[in-house]
Structure 1
Amino acid sequence: MNTLLIRSSKVIKMAGNRIKKEVPTVKAWNKQEMALQFKRVNTSCINIIREGLLAIAPDIPWSEAEFDTRQQKATSLGDRYWVCDPLDGAIHFLQGLSPWCISLALIENGLAVFSVIYDAVRDELFTAMRGQGAWMNGEKLAVNIRNRLSDAILVTAHPNQPDKEEKDVRQLLETMGILLPKAGAVRMTGTSSLQLAYVAAGRIDAFWESGDDAYDWLAGALLVEEAGGVVRTMEGLPYSLQTDTGILAGNETMADLVGDEIARVLFSDRRVMA
Protein backbone atom coordinates (compact mmCIF):
# COMPACT_ATOMS: atom_id res chain seq x y z
CA MET A 1 0.00 0.00 0.00
CA ASN A 2 2.87 2.41 0.75
CA THR A 3 4.26 1.77 -2.72
CA LEU A 4 0.88 2.55 -4.31
CA LEU A 5 0.64 5.79 -2.32
CA ILE A 6 4.10 6.87 -3.47
CA ARG A 7 3.41 6.02 -7.09
CA SER A 8 -0.03 7.66 -7.16
CA SER A 9 1.46 10.77 -5.52
CA LYS A 10 3.89 11.02 -8.42
CA VAL A 11 0.97 10.82 -10.85
CA ILE A 12 -0.84 13.65 -9.06
CA LYS A 13 2.30 15.82 -8.93
CA MET A 14 2.89 15.26 -12.65
CA ALA A 15 -0.71 16.22 -13.44
CA GLY A 16 -0.56 19.33 -11.25
CA ASN A 17 2.65 20.59 -12.81
CA ARG A 18 1.38 19.97 -16.32
CA ILE A 19 -2.05 21.49 -15.76
CA LYS A 20 -0.76 24.69 -14.12
CA LYS A 21 0.67 25.59 -17.54
CA GLU A 22 -2.89 25.61 -18.92
CA VAL A 23 -4.17 28.63 -16.99
CA PRO A 24 -6.12 30.58 -19.64
CA THR A 25 -4.27 33.64 -20.90
CA VAL A 26 -7.60 35.21 -21.87
CA LYS A 27 -10.12 35.38 -19.04
CA ALA A 28 -13.72 34.32 -19.68
CA TRP A 29 -16.10 37.21 -20.22
CA ASN A 30 -19.19 35.42 -18.84
CA LYS A 31 -20.20 32.33 -16.86
CA GLN A 32 -20.88 30.27 -19.95
CA GLU A 33 -17.40 30.85 -21.33
CA MET A 34 -15.89 30.10 -17.92
CA ALA A 35 -17.82 26.80 -17.83
CA LEU A 36 -16.36 25.87 -21.22
CA GLN A 37 -12.85 26.73 -20.05
CA PHE A 38 -13.38 24.63 -16.93
CA LYS A 39 -14.63 21.66 -18.94
CA ARG A 40 -11.58 21.75 -21.21
CA VAL A 41 -9.05 21.96 -18.39
CA ASN A 42 -10.88 19.52 -16.11
CA THR A 43 -11.09 16.94 -18.90
CA SER A 44 -7.41 17.39 -19.70
CA CYS A 45 -6.44 16.89 -16.06
CA ILE A 46 -8.68 13.84 -15.71
CA ASN A 47 -7.08 12.24 -18.76
CA ILE A 48 -3.57 12.78 -17.40
CA ILE A 49 -4.46 11.35 -13.98
CA ARG A 50 -6.47 8.39 -15.26
CA GLU A 51 -3.74 7.41 -17.69
CA GLY A 52 -1.15 7.58 -14.91
CA LEU A 53 -3.22 5.60 -12.41
CA LEU A 54 -4.13 3.00 -15.01
CA ALA A 55 -0.44 2.41 -15.64
CA ILE A 56 0.33 1.74 -11.96
CA ALA A 57 -2.93 0.06 -10.88
CA PRO A 58 -4.92 -1.26 -13.86
CA ASP A 59 -7.28 -3.24 -11.60
CA ILE A 60 -8.59 -0.21 -9.64
CA PRO A 61 -11.59 1.54 -11.27
CA TRP A 62 -12.26 5.28 -11.31
CA SER A 63 -15.45 6.78 -9.91
CA GLU A 64 -17.34 8.98 -12.38
CA ALA A 65 -19.54 10.50 -9.64
CA GLU A 66 -17.61 13.78 -9.17
CA PHE A 67 -20.69 15.89 -9.94
CA ASP A 68 -23.42 13.48 -8.73
CA THR A 69 -23.70 13.45 -4.93
CA ARG A 70 -26.38 10.74 -4.95
CA GLN A 71 -24.21 8.44 -7.01
CA GLN A 72 -21.27 9.11 -4.68
CA LYS A 73 -23.18 7.38 -1.89
CA ALA A 74 -24.48 4.51 -4.03
CA THR A 75 -21.48 3.61 -6.15
CA SER A 76 -21.48 0.21 -7.83
CA LEU A 77 -17.74 0.16 -8.47
CA GLY A 78 -17.04 -2.52 -5.90
CA ASP A 79 -14.93 -2.56 -2.77
CA ARG A 80 -11.96 -0.57 -4.13
CA TYR A 81 -11.88 2.50 -6.37
CA TRP A 82 -10.36 5.95 -6.92
CA VAL A 83 -12.10 9.21 -5.98
CA CYS A 84 -10.52 12.27 -7.57
CA ASP A 85 -11.21 15.99 -7.80
CA PRO A 86 -8.90 17.00 -10.66
CA LEU A 87 -9.38 20.75 -10.14
CA ASP A 88 -10.57 21.84 -6.70
CA GLY A 89 -10.67 25.62 -6.76
CA ALA A 90 -11.47 25.84 -10.46
CA ILE A 91 -12.50 29.52 -10.46
CA HIS A 92 -9.20 30.47 -8.84
CA PHE A 93 -7.35 28.44 -11.46
CA LEU A 94 -9.22 29.98 -14.38
CA GLN A 95 -8.62 33.50 -13.02
CA GLY A 96 -4.92 32.92 -12.39
CA LEU A 97 -5.43 33.00 -8.63
CA SER A 98 -4.46 30.57 -5.89
CA PRO A 99 -5.06 28.32 -4.09
CA TRP A 100 -6.28 25.44 -6.22
CA CYS A 101 -5.30 21.79 -5.98
CA ILE A 102 -5.83 18.20 -7.07
CA SER A 103 -7.16 15.67 -4.56
CA LEU A 104 -7.17 11.88 -4.75
CA ALA A 105 -8.37 9.17 -2.37
CA LEU A 106 -8.32 5.40 -2.58
CA ILE A 107 -11.56 3.96 -1.21
CA GLU A 108 -11.75 0.45 0.21
CA ASN A 109 -14.98 -0.91 1.68
CA GLY A 110 -16.40 2.61 2.00
CA LEU A 111 -13.34 4.13 3.72
CA ALA A 112 -10.52 6.29 2.41
CA VAL A 113 -7.37 4.24 3.03
CA PHE A 114 -4.97 6.85 1.70
CA SER A 115 -5.21 10.31 0.22
CA VAL A 116 -3.16 12.80 -1.77
CA ILE A 117 -3.69 16.56 -2.11
CA TYR A 118 -1.29 18.57 -4.26
CA ASP A 119 -0.96 22.35 -4.48
CA ALA A 120 1.12 22.77 -7.62
CA VAL A 121 1.53 26.54 -7.15
CA ARG A 122 3.27 26.12 -3.76
CA ASP A 123 4.63 22.65 -4.60
CA GLU A 124 3.07 21.23 -1.42
CA LEU A 125 2.15 17.55 -1.43
CA PHE A 126 -0.12 16.41 1.41
CA THR A 127 -0.47 12.66 1.95
CA ALA A 128 -2.15 10.44 4.54
CA MET A 129 -2.34 6.71 5.14
CA ARG A 130 -5.05 5.33 7.42
CA GLY A 131 -3.51 4.34 10.74
CA GLN A 132 -0.05 5.60 9.77
CA GLY A 133 -0.21 9.41 9.89
CA ALA A 134 -0.26 12.44 7.61
CA TRP A 135 2.57 14.37 5.96
CA MET A 136 3.34 17.46 3.90
CA ASN A 137 6.38 17.06 1.63
CA GLY A 138 7.52 14.26 3.93
CA GLU A 139 7.12 16.17 7.22
CA LYS A 140 4.72 14.72 9.79
CA LEU A 141 1.58 16.81 10.34
CA ALA A 142 -0.32 17.58 13.54
CA VAL A 143 -3.45 19.68 14.07
CA ASN A 144 -3.15 22.92 16.03
CA ILE A 145 -3.75 22.82 19.79
CA ARG A 146 -5.58 26.14 20.21
CA ASN A 147 -8.48 25.63 22.59
CA ARG A 148 -10.29 29.00 22.67
CA LEU A 149 -12.69 30.11 19.97
CA SER A 150 -11.55 33.72 20.37
CA ASP A 151 -8.03 32.67 19.28
CA ALA A 152 -9.12 30.38 16.46
CA ILE A 153 -8.60 30.78 12.71
CA LEU A 154 -11.64 29.21 11.05
CA VAL A 155 -12.43 28.55 7.41
CA THR A 156 -15.52 27.60 5.46
CA ALA A 157 -16.74 27.30 1.87
CA HIS A 158 -19.87 28.32 0.02
CA PRO A 159 -21.98 25.94 -2.13
CA ASN A 160 -20.77 25.25 -5.66
CA GLN A 161 -24.12 26.39 -7.09
CA PRO A 162 -25.51 28.94 -4.62
CA ASP A 163 -28.38 29.82 -6.92
CA LYS A 164 -29.64 26.20 -6.66
CA GLU A 165 -28.67 25.29 -3.08
CA GLU A 166 -30.84 27.58 -0.99
CA LYS A 167 -30.61 25.52 2.21
CA ASP A 168 -26.81 25.39 2.15
CA VAL A 169 -26.58 29.13 1.47
CA ARG A 170 -28.87 29.82 4.43
CA GLN A 171 -26.80 27.56 6.69
CA LEU A 172 -23.60 29.26 5.58
CA LEU A 173 -24.94 32.72 6.39
CA GLU A 174 -26.38 31.64 9.73
CA THR A 175 -23.20 29.90 10.89
CA MET A 176 -20.99 32.74 9.64
CA GLY A 177 -23.21 35.16 11.50
CA ILE A 178 -22.58 33.50 14.85
CA LEU A 179 -18.95 32.40 14.38
CA LEU A 180 -17.46 35.51 12.75
CA PRO A 181 -17.84 37.79 15.83
CA LYS A 182 -16.55 35.09 18.20
CA ALA A 183 -13.55 33.68 16.32
CA GLY A 184 -10.07 35.13 16.00
CA ALA A 185 -10.62 35.22 12.24
CA VAL A 186 -12.79 33.54 9.61
CA ARG A 187 -11.69 33.00 6.02
CA MET A 188 -13.11 31.45 2.84
CA THR A 189 -10.28 30.49 0.51
CA GLY A 190 -12.23 28.53 -2.08
CA THR A 191 -10.98 24.94 -2.08
CA SER A 192 -12.44 22.53 0.46
CA SER A 193 -9.83 19.78 0.21
CA LEU A 194 -6.91 22.18 0.63
CA GLN A 195 -8.59 23.91 3.57
CA LEU A 196 -8.91 20.51 5.25
CA ALA A 197 -5.23 19.88 4.50
CA TYR A 198 -4.43 23.18 6.22
CA VAL A 199 -6.36 22.02 9.30
CA ALA A 200 -4.19 18.89 9.32
CA ALA A 201 -1.07 21.07 9.01
CA GLY A 202 -2.10 23.30 11.94
CA ARG A 203 -2.40 26.38 9.72
CA ILE A 204 -6.14 26.55 10.35
CA ASP A 205 -7.95 25.52 13.53
CA ALA A 206 -11.26 24.28 12.13
CA PHE A 207 -13.18 23.94 8.88
CA TRP A 208 -16.91 23.62 8.37
CA GLU A 209 -19.11 23.39 5.29
CA SER A 210 -22.75 22.63 4.59
CA GLY A 211 -23.87 20.26 1.87
CA ASP A 212 -23.48 16.62 0.90
CA ASP A 213 -20.58 16.56 -1.59
CA ALA A 214 -18.52 13.82 0.08
CA TYR A 215 -16.03 13.68 -2.81
CA ASP A 216 -14.91 17.22 -1.93
CA TRP A 217 -13.97 16.11 1.58
CA LEU A 218 -12.76 12.50 1.57
CA ALA A 219 -9.07 13.13 0.94
CA GLY A 220 -8.82 16.06 3.34
CA ALA A 221 -10.87 14.36 6.04
CA LEU A 222 -8.38 11.50 6.21
CA LEU A 223 -5.52 13.99 6.50
CA VAL A 224 -7.20 15.66 9.50
CA GLU A 225 -7.89 12.35 11.23
CA GLU A 226 -4.35 11.10 10.69
CA ALA A 227 -2.96 14.42 11.98
CA GLY A 228 -4.74 13.84 15.30
CA GLY A 229 -7.93 15.80 14.60
CA VAL A 230 -11.59 14.81 14.46
CA VAL A 231 -14.02 14.95 11.55
CA ARG A 232 -17.79 14.99 12.07
CA THR A 233 -20.97 15.98 10.34
CA MET A 234 -22.29 19.39 11.31
CA GLU A 235 -24.83 17.57 13.46
CA GLY A 236 -21.97 15.99 15.42
CA LEU A 237 -22.30 12.49 13.95
CA PRO A 238 -19.35 10.41 12.70
CA TYR A 239 -18.17 11.46 9.24
CA SER A 240 -18.37 8.88 6.44
CA LEU A 241 -18.87 8.52 2.70
CA GLN A 242 -22.62 8.61 3.41
CA THR A 243 -22.42 12.03 5.08
CA ASP A 244 -25.09 14.39 3.75
CA THR A 245 -25.30 17.00 6.52
CA GLY A 246 -22.06 18.89 6.03
CA ILE A 247 -18.64 18.53 7.62
CA LEU A 248 -16.78 19.91 10.63
CA ALA A 249 -13.07 19.23 11.24
CA GLY A 250 -10.47 20.39 13.75
CA ASN A 251 -8.78 19.35 16.95
CA GLU A 252 -11.28 17.77 19.34
CA THR A 253 -11.69 20.82 21.59
CA MET A 254 -12.11 23.22 18.68
CA ALA A 255 -14.53 20.88 16.93
CA ASP A 256 -16.61 20.82 20.11
CA LEU A 257 -16.58 24.62 20.43
CA VAL A 258 -17.45 25.27 16.79
CA GLY A 259 -19.98 22.44 16.78
CA ASP A 260 -21.77 23.91 19.80
CA GLU A 261 -22.08 27.29 18.07
CA ILE A 262 -23.35 25.68 14.86
CA ALA A 263 -25.89 23.64 16.83
CA ARG A 264 -27.21 26.82 18.45
CA VAL A 265 -28.28 28.26 15.10
CA LEU A 266 -29.03 25.20 13.00
CA PHE A 267 -30.26 22.52 15.38
CA SER A 268 -31.62 24.43 18.39
CA ASP A 269 -35.08 22.89 17.91
CA ARG A 270 -33.61 19.39 18.20
CA ARG A 271 -31.68 20.33 21.34
CA VAL A 272 -34.88 21.62 22.96
CA MET A 273 -36.72 18.42 22.02
CA ALA A 274 -33.84 16.33 23.44
Structure 2
Amino acid sequence: METLFRQSCEVIKEAGKALKNSQVPFTRAENKEELMTQFQAANVFSTHLIREGLLTIAPDIPWSDAEFDTTRQKDPALGRMYWVCDAIDGAIHFLQGFSPWCISLVLIADGIPAFSIIYDPVRDELFTAIRGKGAWLNGEKLAVNIRNSIQEAILATAHPNQPQKEKKEASLLLSSLERILPRAGAVRMLGPSSLQLAYVAAGRLDAFWEYGNDVYDWLAGALMVEEAGGKVQSIEGQAFSIETNTGVLAGNEWLVGLLEEELPVEWDIFSCKM
Protein backbone atom coordinates (compact mmCIF):
# COMPACT_ATOMS: atom_id res chain seq x y z
CA MET A 1 0.00 0.00 0.00
CA GLU A 2 2.81 2.45 0.81
CA THR A 3 4.41 1.90 -2.60
CA LEU A 4 1.08 2.64 -4.27
CA PHE A 5 0.74 5.73 -2.06
CA ARG A 6 4.15 7.09 -3.07
CA GLN A 7 3.52 6.41 -6.75
CA SER A 8 0.11 8.10 -6.52
CA CYS A 9 1.72 11.20 -5.03
CA GLU A 10 4.02 11.42 -8.06
CA VAL A 11 1.09 11.06 -10.46
CA ILE A 12 -0.78 13.90 -8.78
CA LYS A 13 2.27 16.17 -8.61
CA GLU A 14 3.06 15.65 -12.28
CA ALA A 15 -0.54 16.35 -13.28
CA GLY A 16 -0.71 19.46 -11.10
CA LYS A 17 2.48 20.92 -12.51
CA ALA A 18 1.37 20.23 -16.09
CA LEU A 19 -2.00 21.83 -15.38
CA LYS A 20 -0.39 24.93 -13.88
CA ASN A 21 2.17 25.30 -16.67
CA SER A 22 -0.02 24.72 -19.71
CA GLN A 23 -3.72 25.06 -18.97
CA VAL A 24 -4.36 28.34 -17.13
CA PRO A 25 -6.28 30.42 -19.72
CA PHE A 26 -4.43 33.37 -21.27
CA THR A 27 -7.73 35.21 -21.83
CA ARG A 28 -10.59 35.55 -19.38
CA ALA A 29 -13.99 34.19 -20.33
CA GLU A 30 -16.58 36.82 -21.19
CA ASN A 31 -19.57 34.78 -20.00
CA LYS A 32 -20.54 31.59 -18.18
CA GLU A 33 -20.64 29.57 -21.39
CA GLU A 34 -17.04 30.43 -22.22
CA LEU A 35 -16.02 29.78 -18.62
CA MET A 36 -17.59 26.32 -18.76
CA THR A 37 -15.82 25.58 -22.04
CA GLN A 38 -12.48 26.55 -20.49
CA PHE A 39 -13.21 24.43 -17.42
CA GLN A 40 -14.14 21.38 -19.44
CA ALA A 41 -10.95 21.60 -21.49
CA ALA A 42 -8.72 21.92 -18.40
CA ASN A 43 -10.65 19.28 -16.47
CA VAL A 44 -10.39 16.77 -19.33
CA PHE A 45 -6.65 17.49 -19.58
CA SER A 46 -6.06 16.96 -15.85
CA THR A 47 -8.37 13.94 -15.59
CA HIS A 48 -6.66 12.22 -18.51
CA LEU A 49 -3.20 12.68 -17.03
CA ILE A 50 -4.28 11.40 -13.63
CA ARG A 51 -6.26 8.42 -14.94
CA GLU A 52 -3.47 7.33 -17.26
CA GLY A 53 -0.93 7.66 -14.47
CA LEU A 54 -3.03 5.63 -12.06
CA LEU A 55 -3.74 2.96 -14.66
CA THR A 56 -0.01 2.56 -15.12
CA ILE A 57 0.68 1.96 -11.44
CA ALA A 58 -2.60 0.21 -10.48
CA PRO A 59 -4.43 -1.16 -13.54
CA ASP A 60 -6.87 -3.20 -11.43
CA ILE A 61 -8.23 -0.30 -9.37
CA PRO A 62 -11.25 1.40 -11.03
CA TRP A 63 -12.01 5.11 -11.18
CA SER A 64 -15.26 6.62 -9.91
CA ASP A 65 -16.86 9.09 -12.33
CA ALA A 66 -19.51 10.01 -9.79
CA GLU A 67 -18.13 13.33 -8.51
CA PHE A 68 -21.37 15.17 -9.32
CA ASP A 69 -23.78 12.22 -8.84
CA THR A 70 -24.46 11.48 -5.19
CA THR A 71 -26.45 8.33 -5.95
CA ARG A 72 -23.66 6.72 -7.98
CA GLN A 73 -21.09 7.65 -5.35
CA LYS A 74 -22.27 4.68 -3.27
CA ASP A 75 -22.56 2.26 -6.22
CA PRO A 76 -21.39 -1.21 -5.04
CA ALA A 77 -20.40 -1.98 -8.64
CA LEU A 78 -17.29 0.14 -8.04
CA GLY A 79 -15.91 -2.77 -6.07
CA ARG A 80 -13.83 -3.09 -2.92
CA MET A 81 -11.23 -0.49 -3.97
CA TYR A 82 -11.58 2.54 -6.23
CA TRP A 83 -10.25 6.05 -6.81
CA VAL A 84 -12.11 9.26 -6.01
CA CYS A 85 -10.53 12.30 -7.66
CA ASP A 86 -11.26 15.98 -8.15
CA ALA A 87 -9.03 16.94 -11.06
CA ILE A 88 -9.45 20.69 -10.35
CA ASP A 89 -10.91 21.74 -7.00
CA GLY A 90 -11.27 25.52 -7.01
CA ALA A 91 -11.86 25.72 -10.75
CA ILE A 92 -13.03 29.35 -10.74
CA HIS A 93 -9.77 30.41 -9.10
CA PHE A 94 -7.81 28.37 -11.63
CA LEU A 95 -9.67 29.84 -14.61
CA GLN A 96 -9.33 33.38 -13.29
CA GLY A 97 -5.61 33.00 -12.67
CA PHE A 98 -5.45 33.17 -8.87
CA SER A 99 -5.16 30.68 -6.04
CA PRO A 100 -5.84 28.55 -4.13
CA TRP A 101 -6.83 25.62 -6.30
CA CYS A 102 -5.74 22.02 -6.04
CA ILE A 103 -6.09 18.40 -7.09
CA SER A 104 -7.42 15.83 -4.61
CA LEU A 105 -7.25 12.05 -4.75
CA VAL A 106 -8.54 9.37 -2.39
CA LEU A 107 -8.20 5.61 -2.49
CA ILE A 108 -11.39 4.09 -1.10
CA ALA A 109 -10.99 0.59 0.35
CA ASP A 110 -13.93 -1.27 1.85
CA GLY A 111 -16.01 1.91 1.96
CA ILE A 112 -13.51 4.19 3.74
CA PRO A 113 -10.48 6.24 2.64
CA ALA A 114 -7.23 4.28 2.84
CA PHE A 115 -5.06 7.24 1.89
CA SER A 116 -5.56 10.71 0.46
CA ILE A 117 -3.56 13.32 -1.42
CA ILE A 118 -4.20 17.04 -1.95
CA TYR A 119 -1.75 18.98 -4.07
CA ASP A 120 -1.53 22.76 -4.49
CA PRO A 121 0.68 23.27 -7.58
CA VAL A 122 0.94 27.05 -7.11
CA ARG A 123 2.60 26.71 -3.69
CA ASP A 124 4.03 23.25 -4.42
CA GLU A 125 2.39 21.91 -1.26
CA LEU A 126 1.56 18.24 -1.04
CA PHE A 127 -0.82 17.29 1.78
CA THR A 128 -1.10 13.57 2.42
CA ALA A 129 -2.65 11.14 4.88
CA ILE A 130 -2.58 7.37 5.40
CA ARG A 131 -5.25 5.84 7.61
CA GLY A 132 -3.80 4.96 10.99
CA LYS A 133 -0.37 6.44 10.23
CA GLY A 134 -0.77 10.21 10.21
CA ALA A 135 -0.97 13.25 7.94
CA TRP A 136 1.84 15.32 6.43
CA LEU A 137 2.62 18.46 4.47
CA ASN A 138 5.64 17.94 2.20
CA GLY A 139 6.76 15.21 4.57
CA GLU A 140 6.31 17.17 7.83
CA LYS A 141 3.84 15.69 10.34
CA LEU A 142 0.61 17.65 10.79
CA ALA A 143 -1.46 18.39 13.90
CA VAL A 144 -4.67 20.36 14.29
CA ASN A 145 -4.71 23.56 16.33
CA ILE A 146 -5.76 23.39 19.97
CA ARG A 147 -7.72 26.65 20.21
CA ASN A 148 -10.87 25.90 22.19
CA SER A 149 -12.81 29.15 21.86
CA ILE A 150 -14.94 30.35 18.97
CA GLN A 151 -13.89 33.90 19.84
CA GLU A 152 -10.24 33.01 19.21
CA ALA A 153 -10.76 30.66 16.28
CA ILE A 154 -9.93 31.20 12.62
CA LEU A 155 -12.81 29.48 10.80
CA ALA A 156 -13.65 28.78 7.19
CA THR A 157 -16.69 27.72 5.21
CA ALA A 158 -17.89 27.42 1.62
CA HIS A 159 -21.03 28.41 -0.23
CA PRO A 160 -23.02 26.10 -2.55
CA ASN A 161 -21.72 25.85 -6.11
CA GLN A 162 -25.17 26.72 -7.44
CA PRO A 163 -26.90 28.81 -4.76
CA GLN A 164 -29.78 29.63 -7.08
CA LYS A 165 -30.63 25.91 -7.14
CA GLU A 166 -29.37 24.87 -3.70
CA LYS A 167 -31.59 27.28 -1.81
CA LYS A 168 -31.77 25.26 1.40
CA GLU A 169 -27.99 25.04 1.67
CA ALA A 170 -27.63 28.74 0.86
CA SER A 171 -30.13 29.64 3.58
CA LEU A 172 -28.33 27.48 6.12
CA LEU A 173 -24.99 29.04 5.24
CA LEU A 174 -26.33 32.57 5.64
CA SER A 175 -27.95 31.64 8.94
CA SER A 176 -24.73 30.07 10.18
CA LEU A 177 -22.73 33.17 9.24
CA GLU A 178 -25.25 35.36 11.04
CA ARG A 179 -24.62 33.36 14.21
CA ILE A 180 -20.88 32.72 13.93
CA LEU A 181 -19.39 35.74 12.15
CA PRO A 182 -19.94 38.27 14.99
CA ARG A 183 -18.35 35.92 17.52
CA ALA A 184 -15.47 34.29 15.66
CA GLY A 185 -11.87 35.45 15.57
CA ALA A 186 -12.21 35.44 11.78
CA VAL A 187 -14.20 33.62 9.09
CA ARG A 188 -12.92 33.01 5.57
CA MET A 189 -14.13 31.42 2.33
CA LEU A 190 -11.03 30.26 0.49
CA GLY A 191 -12.61 28.26 -2.32
CA PRO A 192 -11.73 24.56 -2.60
CA SER A 193 -13.26 22.57 0.25
CA SER A 194 -10.62 19.85 0.13
CA LEU A 195 -7.80 22.35 0.61
CA GLN A 196 -9.59 24.15 3.43
CA LEU A 197 -9.89 20.82 5.24
CA ALA A 198 -6.18 20.24 4.63
CA TYR A 199 -5.54 23.65 6.19
CA VAL A 200 -7.46 22.52 9.27
CA ALA A 201 -5.22 19.46 9.47
CA ALA A 202 -2.19 21.75 9.16
CA GLY A 203 -3.41 24.14 11.87
CA ARG A 204 -3.71 27.05 9.44
CA LEU A 205 -7.45 27.05 10.10
CA ASP A 206 -9.08 25.99 13.34
CA ALA A 207 -12.30 24.58 11.88
CA PHE A 208 -14.27 24.26 8.65
CA TRP A 209 -17.95 23.69 7.97
CA GLU A 210 -19.97 23.33 4.80
CA TYR A 211 -23.58 22.48 4.03
CA GLY A 212 -24.60 20.21 1.17
CA ASN A 213 -23.93 16.70 -0.11
CA ASP A 214 -20.53 17.13 -1.78
CA VAL A 215 -18.97 14.21 0.07
CA TYR A 216 -16.47 13.58 -2.74
CA ASP A 217 -15.07 17.08 -2.05
CA TRP A 218 -14.61 16.25 1.63
CA LEU A 219 -13.19 12.72 1.70
CA ALA A 220 -9.52 13.58 1.10
CA GLY A 221 -9.35 16.43 3.61
CA ALA A 222 -11.50 14.65 6.18
CA LEU A 223 -8.99 11.82 6.46
CA MET A 224 -6.21 14.38 6.89
CA VAL A 225 -8.02 16.11 9.74
CA GLU A 226 -8.65 12.80 11.49
CA GLU A 227 -5.05 11.68 11.06
CA ALA A 228 -3.85 15.06 12.36
CA GLY A 229 -5.72 14.46 15.62
CA GLY A 230 -8.92 16.29 14.76
CA LYS A 231 -12.57 15.35 14.53
CA VAL A 232 -14.81 15.22 11.46
CA GLN A 233 -18.56 14.78 11.60
CA SER A 234 -21.79 15.76 9.91
CA ILE A 235 -23.33 19.11 10.77
CA GLU A 236 -25.88 17.27 12.95
CA GLY A 237 -23.16 15.47 14.91
CA GLN A 238 -23.16 12.07 13.23
CA ALA A 239 -19.93 10.27 12.36
CA PHE A 240 -18.55 11.35 8.98
CA SER A 241 -18.58 8.75 6.22
CA ILE A 242 -19.13 8.41 2.49
CA GLU A 243 -22.86 8.40 3.37
CA THR A 244 -22.74 11.93 4.81
CA ASN A 245 -25.10 14.07 2.72
CA THR A 246 -26.09 17.15 4.71
CA GLY A 247 -22.82 18.87 5.52
CA VAL A 248 -19.45 18.50 7.19
CA LEU A 249 -17.85 20.00 10.31
CA ALA A 250 -14.14 19.51 11.09
CA GLY A 251 -11.64 20.82 13.64
CA ASN A 252 -10.24 19.87 17.02
CA GLU A 253 -12.70 17.93 19.15
CA TRP A 254 -13.43 20.77 21.56
CA LEU A 255 -14.11 23.35 18.88
CA VAL A 256 -16.24 20.96 16.83
CA GLY A 257 -18.41 20.44 19.91
CA LEU A 258 -18.86 24.18 20.39
CA LEU A 259 -19.70 24.79 16.73
CA GLU A 260 -22.15 21.89 16.61
CA GLU A 261 -24.21 23.70 19.23
CA GLU A 262 -24.21 26.92 17.19
CA LEU A 263 -24.59 25.84 13.57
CA PRO A 264 -28.19 25.67 12.33
CA VAL A 265 -29.44 22.43 10.82
CA GLU A 266 -32.14 21.81 8.23
CA TRP A 267 -35.10 21.86 10.58
CA ASP A 268 -33.95 25.19 12.05
CA ILE A 269 -34.92 26.94 8.81
CA PHE A 270 -38.57 26.57 9.78
CA SER A 271 -38.18 27.07 13.52
CA CYS A 272 -38.47 30.18 15.66
CA LYS A 273 -34.67 30.12 16.13
CA MET A 274 -34.30 31.70 12.72
Q: Which residue number in structure 2 is paired with residue 222 of structure 1?
A: 223
Give every structure 1 segment of 4 or more consecutive aligned residues whose post-TM-superposition deviation is greater than 3 Å: 265-272
Write the deviation string for residues 51-71 of structure 1: whole angstroms up to 9, x where unpaired: 000000001000010111221
Q: Which residue number in structure 1 is paired with residue 153 of structure 2?
A: 152
Write the deviation string for residues 186-237 of structure 1: whole angstroms up to 9, x where unpaired: 0001100000000000000000000011100000000000000000000000
TM-score, normalized by length of structure 1?
A: 0.96
Contact 2:155–2:208 under 8 Å retained in 1 = yes
TM-score, normalized by length of structure 2?
A: 0.96
Asked if residue 256 in structure 1 is aligned to residue 257 in structure 2, the reply is yes
Percent identity of equivalent pairs: 62
Residue aligned with 2:98, SS: coil
CA distance in 2, matches of 1:246, 1:45: 27
Residue aligned with 2:123, SS: coil
Write the deviation string for residues 105-132 of structure 1: whole angstroms up to 9, x where unpaired: 0001110010000000000000000000
Q: Which residue number in structure 2 is paired with residue 209 of structure 1?
A: 210
Write the deviation string for residues 14-37 of structure 1: whole angstroms up to 9, x where unpaired: 000000121000000000100010
Opposite residue 5 of structure 1, the aligned amino acid is F
Structure 2 gaps of 5+ residues are: none
Residue aligned with 2:78, SS: coil
CA distance in 1, matches of 2:50, 2:269: 46
CA distance in 1, matches of 2:120, 2:233: 25
Q: Which residue number in structure 2 is paired with residue 10 of structure 1?
A: 10
CA-CA distance at 1:75 after TM superposition:
4.6
Structure 1 gaps of 5+ residues are: none
CA distance in 2, matches of 1:90, 1:176: 24
Write the deviation string for residues 65-92 of structure 1: whole angstroms up to 9, x where unpaired: 0111221133521110000000000000
Mean CA deviation greater in 72-81 or 131-140 = 72-81
Opposite residue 56 of structure 1, the aligned amino acid is I
Q: Which residue number in structure 1 is paired with residue 54 of structure 2?
A: 53
Residue aligned with 1:144, SS: coil
Q: Which residue number in structure 1 is paired with residue 144 of structure 2?
A: 143
Task: Describe how 1:46-195 pairs up with structure 2 within 5 A.
Answer: 46-195=47-196
C-alpha RMSD of the superposition: 1.6
Contact 2:172–2:269 under 8 Å retained in 1 = no
CA distance in 1, matches of 2:84, 2:229: 23
Structure 1's 267 and 55: CA in aligned 2 closer, same or farther, altered over 3 A?
Answer: same
Write the deviation string for residues 233-271 of structure 1: whole angstroms up to 9, x where unpaired: 0000000001011000000001011111014x6555999
CA distance in 2, matches of 1:270, 1:33: 39
Contact 2:208–2:249 under 8 Å retained in 1 = yes
Structure 1's 32 and 270: CA in aligned 2 closer, same or farther, altered over 3 A?
Answer: closer
